[in-house]
Structures are given as structure tokens and as C-alpha cells.
Amino acid sequence: MAAPKEKTLKNLSGKWVMNKTLSDDTDRILQMQGVGWFLRRAIALSTITLTVTEYIKDDLTHIDISQVASPGGITSTENRVLDWVYHDHSDRVFGDVKGKSRWVKLSDIDDDDFLKKGWDDMEGEHVQGYVESKGGGWTADQVWGFEIIDEKRYYVRHVVVRKGDDWKLARLVYDFQK
């Protein structure tokens, strides 16, 4: 189901399921990130569910995400603090990474236009996340927001992954569950 109006970037808590019909294929991005063929196939055939808990602690926004691919039970977590400081993380799918996240206005994003275009709210703040692989040689930059697709409002992530001179783009679209 499309995102209800009360769901915003400051109120993402709940369950979100990737809409694979509206999302771009992620296989080439996952391959660039060093994810093996078998795991990429399992992810491609699975339903991806995000359980999001958003809260304020010590005046900072925290967004904790448990991601599950079903069937198969492939899990990963994203525990983000929107402070634009690197935090180390060891991920079952992506290995050892360091990442930072922040609230950002689209006009303050230096990079690719893909990260800045198509949003429902072009003036307000969005969430930007940046991750560097510690051993894989890739980076991932993403911006989160909401888009109107086929006259319905969805939670969306625009993702740019780079490795050397190569780069891939993907738009990930999520349905709200509860």
C-alpha cells in the first residue's frame, strides 16, 4: 500500500516492503558491492521487509532498520544516527563498512542529480546516507524521501554505488504495511 500522509521522514517507524515492480533491479549494484551470485539470486527472489524504528536520543535522530529477505531469512541491520559522523558497522551482506547519515536539503547535495530529482517535497529536508566499504572498494550514496508514482505516494531511496570509475543507480520503492 502507498504511504499514508502521516508517514514522513520524521515518522518512518513501521513496516515497509520493497515494491519490486516499481523498484529498479538491484543485481548489478549488489554485484558491484561484492555480493555473490547465490545470495544475489536469493535476494532477487525474496520479499524484502524493513522494520523501521525512528526516535530522538540526545537531540539526534536515530533510525534503526531491521531488514529481512523472506523466504530465506537473510537479515541485515542499519542503525543510523543523523549526525554526519562515520560509524563502523559489520554487515552480514556487505561486510565491514563505515557510514554516516544526516538531514539534508537537496540543494546541499554536491553529487549526482539522480539523488536530487523526483521528490514529492523538493524544499524540505531529506535523509542522506553515505557508506564506504572497508575492503571492497565501493561507496554508496543514498537519499531518502517520498515520491508520487502513478498518483500514489511512496517511501523511496535513490542510491548511487561507485567502484573505481564504474557507477550504478537504483530507485528503491517501498509499500507501507503497518
Which pLDDT score is estimated for 72?
Answer: 74
CA distances from 150 to 2, 68, 101, 108 (A): 10, 27, 29, 28
Q: What is the side-by-side strand order in the sheet with 95-105? A: 74-81, 60-70, 47-57, 14-18, 166-176, 152-163, 138-149, 125-133, 95-105, 87-91
Tens of pLDDT, residue by residue over 46-97, are 999 999 999 999 999 999 999 998 987 788 888 999 999 999 999 888 889 9
- pLDDT the model gives residue 93: 84
pLDDT score for 13: 97
Tracing cell 536530487 back to the chain, one arrives at 116
User: What is residue 169's predicted lDDT score, i.e. its pLDDT?
Assistant: 95
Q: What is the pTM of this model?
A: 0.94
**pLDDT for 90-143, tens place per residue?**
988 888 999 999 999 999 998 678 999 999 888 889 999 999 999 999 999 999
Percent of the chain with pLDDT strictly greater than 90? 80
